[in-house]
């Protein structure tokens, strides 16, 4: 299963608007994607409550994983999203 580690760039972390944008993008990939902080439990990236429960703040490293056809493309798209300051857009 491919994985990608990325640092959350949003000033508020994965909270409110940045979390919503991330969850919508994850749901739109059509691929099962999970996200985790450190060695913590991976949660579904398309679940707003699950993503908020991570408590990922600005500068937190998260690991994305996906499986199936299109997994690499999904990870690239989501990693690029997290590397942007979504609060500034």
Instruction: Specify the CATH number for the domain of residue 38.
Output: 3.30.1340.10
Do the domain assignments include residue 76?
yes
The answer to whether the CB of 33 falls within 8 A of the CB of 75 is: yes
Do the domain assignments include residue 23?
yes
Q: Could you report the per-residue pLDDT of 32-50, keeping only the tens digit for each?
A: 999 999 999 999 999 999 9
Do the domain assignments include residue 87?
no
Per annotation, catalytic residue among 4, 10, 14, 15: 15
Q: Could you report the per-residue pLDDT of 13-27, keeping only the tens digit for each?
A: 999 899 999 999 999
Do the domain assignments include residue 69?
yes
- 18 CB-contact burial (10 Å; exposed 0-12 / middle 13-18 / buried 19+): buried
Do the domain assignments include residue 89?
no
In the structure, what pLDDT confidence band is assigned to residue 87 with cuts at 50, 70 and 90?
Answer: confident
Give the residue numbers spanning the domain of 75.
Answer: 3-82
Q: Could you report the per-residue pLDDT of 51-86, keeping only the tens digit for each?
A: 999 999 999 999 999 999 999 999 999 999 999 988
Domains in the chain: how many in total?
1
Indicate the pTM of the whole model.
Answer: 0.94
**pLDDT value of residue 1:** 86
Query: What count of other Cβ atoms lies within 10 Å of the Cβ of residue 88?
Result: 8
Establish whether 15 is a catalytic residue: yes
């Amino acid at each position: 299963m491919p994985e990608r580690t990325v640092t959350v760039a949003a000033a508020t972390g994965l909270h409110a608007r940045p979390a919503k944008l991330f969850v919508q993008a994850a749901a739109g990939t059509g691929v099962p994607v999970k996200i985790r902080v450190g060695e913590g439990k991976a949660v579904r990236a398309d679940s707003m409550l699950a993503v908020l429960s991570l408590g990922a703040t600005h500068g937190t490293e998260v690991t994305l994983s996906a499986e199936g056809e299109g997994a690499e493309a999904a990870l690239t798209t989501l990693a690029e999203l997290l590397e942007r300051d979504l609060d500034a857009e």
